[in-house]
Amino acid sequence: MKTIIISSAFLTLLTLAVPSVNAQSTFTGPGVADGSAPADGGAISSVAVNNTASTITFTVNSTQPMASYIFYTIEIQSAGGGYTGLSNPWGPAVGISTGENALINTYGTGASALTYSGGTWTQNASASFDAGGTGSSFATMTFSLSSLGLSIGSSFNFDVVSSYTTPGGQAAYGALDNTTYLAESDNSYQPWLGSNNYDSATATGSTFSSTTYTIQSVPEPGVCASLGLGGLILFRRVLGRKA
What mean pLDDT is predicted for residues 177-198?
95
Mean pLDDT over the full length of the chain: 87
Say whether pLDDT at 225 is over 80: no
CA distances from 26 to 47, 58, 150, 153 (A): 6, 10, 19, 19
Q: What is the pTM of this model?
A: 0.84
**pLDDT grade, residue 160 (50/70/90)?**
very high
Say whether pLDDT at 148 is over 90: yes
Asked if residue 47 and residue 3 are part of one domain, the reply reads no
Residue type, 140: T
- φ, ψ dihedrals at 8, nearest 5°: -65, -40
Distance from C-alpha of 116 to C-alpha of 173, rounded to nearest angstrom? 24
Asked if residue 89 and residue 1 are part of one domain, the reply reads no
Asked if residue 135 and residue 101 are part of one domain, the reply reads yes
Share of the chain above pLDDT 90, in %: 79
Asked if residue 212 and residue 226 are part of one domain, the reply reads no
Asked if residue 108 and residue 124 are part of one domain, the reply reads yes
Q: What confidence tens digit (pLDDT) does each residue in 84-96 have? A: 999 999 999 999 9
Domain that holds residue 173: 23-218
Asked if residue 206 and residue 233 are part of one domain, the reply reads no
Say whether pLDDT at 18 is over 70: no
Asked if residue 232 and residue 126 are part of one domain, the reply reads no
Do the beta carbons of residue 32 and residue 180 sit within 8 Å?
Answer: yes
Domain count, the chain: 2
Distance from C-alpha of 38 to C-alpha of 31, rounded to nearest angstrom? 8
Alpha-carbon 43 to chain mean position? 16
Do the beta carbons of residue 233 and residue 226 sit within 8 Å?
Answer: no
Asked if residue 58 and residue 8 are part of one domain, the reply reads no
Residues 6+ apart with CB under 8 A from 38: 32, 63, 64, 174
Asked if residue 228 and residue 214 are part of one domain, the reply reads no
What mean pLDDT is predicted for residues 6-28?
57
**pLDDT grade, residue 242 (50/70/90)?**
low
Do the beta carbons of residue 70 and residue 38 sit within 8 Å?
Answer: no
CATH number, domain with residue 110? 2.60.40
Asked if residue 72 and residue 191 are part of one domain, the reply reads yes
